[in-house]
Structure 1
């Protein structure tokens, strides 16, 4: 009967979720990444977590000085108190300056001496968490692949049974022999960085090997900012969900609910599609505001419109509500598509649902969401996972997608997500009697019946309004309709609608 695996918390937000609970204590891990990838930051966060947990920690540095480490930590607002720092800086004089050595190569003597001093430091401090920074120095001293492998194996055998979890840092300076450590280590955490055509560097973490435990595979988005490194685990919808009642989410506008055959159900996604200015964002916000007014919590994530402008516009339409998180409040989060990472956005949505209890989520718009994705295929896959996750939590999701163009057949979808949505509301601009007007219709609803009519839509200080079906017009969706009967009167409600 095997004992329960002891986990060693990483101290990096999100990383332990990827590792299904953290590193396995007492094992040796390789942290692999190019210079500037965040290896030292991750290592320091791991040791600081050990200090918080009352463990003995040791940082052995072969390249940076203790002063450089403390300076880097200070830039994050950290104190390294409680972490033993031992520096063995290999100098050129140490390596080649001993003229009395004639039988052994200076690097071999230096390697043995460095190894001896490292092991003595471990015996002296008896750490339960240790970092060795970095393997590139040992690689230079070893000279050959065989000696390097034997040295790493010797370290591994030394630490086994001592109850010490060890992180080896490597800067990928010797790609021809890096696989030596990959095969020896119990686990490998790779830190990657790519530079897009525009925007900040894209940082990701990969677990390429993790003996004794399952983990979330693939690329996980990562950020480095003041306060340290943060990982955003890839969203896997099948691992998340909770029971919920499939209630109807009313909009607060009866005519809109009637058009939808009674309303939108929880656990479904609704796509609002149409040209710019057709009212998509306002309709989506109507559901969010109505939810908050009923005592629920709703969240709006906007990529294009500023938070202040959105709130001011809603106020002008009579949609006043308390802003914030929690019951009876509406949260508006403005996002920059050039700055936010896909995993970071998914994490924000999860926080709104799991922490703050949001039952209505608005993403405005998919065009901005697409710009935050690395590619069209990635957009579809991640959007599918996100919608499935929200559906599993009983959230009513509203997606806004702007079409290019304003009128007629020239309009096209920049993002086609209609097959992912449970309901699709189509909004159009059309010309009639010398005015540009708006129309709304429901073209898809999986969860039940809906009206097939096309209705005029307008907004004023009293909110959202829908007129009777536009039965007297043909070609509304084309943008330039014609009267079915030249003697037909204007549609009831047209006189009340604003001439915009």
Structure 2
């Protein structure tokens, strides 16, 4: 984990128990959960899931027989039960206390004349809360929300003193308090953040197209190690799903470098015997040159050896993939039925980068996949809300998969069809351990294809350029094209063509 822990403010206790929040991904980020008997701040704009996390936090306590209390100043108990029903929950075992102003407050006789309303209402509200705590003696308490308490206080000084008083009140009562703040104040203050033992902030990002992206960050956590940075999450029926940011350094393990053949002798010769476990290979070329088909060839070879493989496809549907492969005689159906091959179609408009990484981790840890295909990097780029961080995240992912002994196959489509000015929107060639390049070229009035290996770490490979074809039965790698020069330009000439030889200058 990141060493973002603050080492001060331990309140003099050495052996502190940890409470689970009810959100497994959040517990992983927090290093196990929340230190018991502390005051915490959960802040975020309306709609980010604060109430959902609060209910999950109380439900796991109630399921274990703890006394738990939900104090609401903003929503009614009926509204809270409606939220619970939307997730398929009930609130049995959770005490609900409404601290909403009554309808009598609208009557003229109830308007304060001698004292400011905040002076009366804040005191009454606080006394009711403390009385409920004394009666119920909860071990977990949620206070929703601070924006109402801030309004009741009437001023920043009185508000801060009220929060400090609440913290001191709960300090000796073996109660873990979760304060919710919807950040609706005109100016966001840091007063409660400085008082709270930990601060978790929820954010919602609305793009021009596609679903809203949600992420959270732990702004501080006194006395514990936690995973810093932003972490994607989503709200589904059943609560929050949090996807902790991948840190490859946490998953270091020794691996054995074993070659994985493709099942095509000529291709294995070109690659120096095949690809190695724990390495990444990039297939790059113009659209239609056969990059995805080559990746499928390695997937089929792995399944035929009894190994699991997984494909994450962005650019085509599963039906299109199966139909295309079946037309080439590469039948995926038996291996899909047996579970040796899994294919997931990814919609970059709906799937966040964190959720995609978590899905890849799951097929490795749970599904024991030994080959992973990401087709393509262009689609992966579109899944990132900010393309500047694609390479950093891709580096972490490839490092993690390499340490897990997985062979990763990346497909990258270049802009253009022919010639030397081919451009790649995502330059991942320096991250990959091997780069296989496919090209179109013209010859005798026909468009042909060529394949070559331009980079391979950790082993020798063939330097020649071979002909490549998609035939019935799968991809076919031919003999080296030694009779042509300038294949990568797209318009080669025969080696023995006088026009292709440099002109000799007469001696002076």
TM-score by length of 2: 0.92
- Look up the SS of the partner of 1:387 in the other structure: helix
Does residue 85 of the first structure (1) align with residue 96 of the second (2)?
yes
8 A contact 1:325–1:331 mirrored in 2: no
Aligned residues: 486
Q: Residue in 2 aligned with 1:367?
A: 378
Post-superposition offset of 1:132:
0.6
8 A contact 1:15–1:231 mirrored in 2: yes
- Write the deviation string for residues 388-437 of structure 1: whole angstroms up to 9, x where unpaired: 11111111111100001111133211111101111000001122233222
- Look up the SS of the partner of 1:14 in the other structure: helix
Q: Residue in 2 aligned with 1:419?
A: 430
- 1:247 equivalent among 249, 253, 258: 258
- Look up the SS of the partner of 1:203 in the other structure: strand
1:116 and 1:2 map into 2 onto residues whose CA distance is 29
Q: 1:324 to 1:91 in 2, by over 3 A?
A: farther
- Look up the SS of the partner of 1:189 in the other structure: strand
Does residue 108 of the first structure (1) align with residue 115 of the second (2)?
no
Does residue 331 of the first structure (1) align with residue 331 of the second (2)?
no
Choose 474-483 or 59-68, whichever is displaced more.
474-483
- 1:476 equivalent among 474, 487, 494: 487
- Look up the SS of the partner of 1:379 in the other structure: helix
8 A contact 2:303–2:335 mirrored in 1: no
8 A contact 1:26–1:166 mirrored in 2: yes
Choose 8-17 or 448-457, whichever is displaced more.
8-17
Post-superposition offset of 1:307:
1.2
Q: Residue in 1 aligned with 2:284?
A: 273
- Look up the SS of the partner of 1:399 in the other structure: strand
- RMSD over aligned Cα, in angstroms? 2.0
1:433 and 1:73 map into 2 onto residues whose CA distance is 70
Q: Residue in 2 aligned with 1:30?
A: 41
1:355 and 1:451 map into 2 onto residues whose CA distance is 36
- Write the deviation string for residues 349-396 of structure 1: whole angstroms up to 9, x where unpaired: 110111111111110000000111123320011011111111111111
- 1:401 equivalent among 384, 390, 412: 412
Q: Residue in 2 aligned with 1:496?
A: none
Could you tell me which runs of 5 or more consecutive residues in structure 1 were left unpaired when the two chains were aligned. Answer: 488-500
Q: 1:301 to 1:28 in 2, by over 3 A?
A: same
- Look up the SS of the partner of 2:235 in the other structure: strand
- 2:185 equivalent among 174, 183, 186: 174
1:130 and 1:401 map into 2 onto residues whose CA distance is 51
Post-superposition offset of 1:48:
1.4
Post-superposition offset of 1:3:
4.7
- 2:32 equivalent among 5, 18, 21: 21
Q: Residue in 2 aligned with 1:50?
A: 61
Q: Residue in 2 aligned with 1:39?
A: 50
- Write the deviation string for residues 200-252 of structure 1: whole angstroms up to 9, x where unpaired: 22211010011120111111111112222111111111011333211101111
Q: Residue in 2 aligned with 1:122?
A: 133
Q: Residue in 1 aligned with 2:467?
A: 456
Q: Superposed, which structure 2 residues align to 1:174-253 within 5 Å?
A: 174=185, 176=187, 178-253=189-264
Post-superposition offset of 1:102:
5.7
8 A contact 1:33–1:191 mirrored in 2: yes
1:229 and 1:30 map into 2 onto residues whose CA distance is 17
Post-superposition offset of 1:173:
2.0
Post-superposition offset of 1:91:
4.4
- Look up the SS of the partner of 1:58 in the other structure: strand
8 A contact 2:104–2:110 mirrored in 1: no
8 A contact 2:439–2:451 mirrored in 1: yes
Q: Residue in 2 aligned with 1:497?
A: none
1:97 and 1:391 map into 2 onto residues whose CA distance is 72
Q: 1:429 to 1:101 in 2, by over 3 A?
A: closer
Q: Residue in 2 aligned with 1:94?
A: 105
1:462 and 1:209 map into 2 onto residues whose CA distance is 58
TM-score by length of 1: 0.93
Q: Hey, which bits of structure 1, 4+ residues long, moved more than 6 A?
A: none
Choose 144-153 or 235-244, whichever is displaced more.
235-244
Post-superposition offset of 1:324:
5.0
Q: 1:475 to 1:194 in 2, by over 3 A?
A: same
Choose 431-440 or 203-212, whichever is displaced more.
431-440
- 2:76 equivalent among 55, 58, 65: 65
Q: 1:96 to 1:47 in 2, by over 3 A?
A: same
- 2:157 equivalent among 125, 146, 151: 146
Q: 1:98 to 1:164 in 2, by over 3 A?
A: farther
Q: Residue in 1 aligned with 2:7?
A: none
1:324 and 1:41 map into 2 onto residues whose CA distance is 37
- 1:347 equivalent among 355, 358, 365: 358
Q: 1:251 to 1:5 in 2, by over 3 A?
A: farther
Does residue 382 of the first structure (1) align with residue 393 of the second (2)?
yes
Q: Residue in 1 aligned with 2:315?
A: 304
Q: 1:348 to 1:177 in 2, by over 3 A?
A: closer
1:65 and 1:258 map into 2 onto residues whose CA distance is 71
2:242 and 2:340 map into 1 onto residues whose CA distance is 29
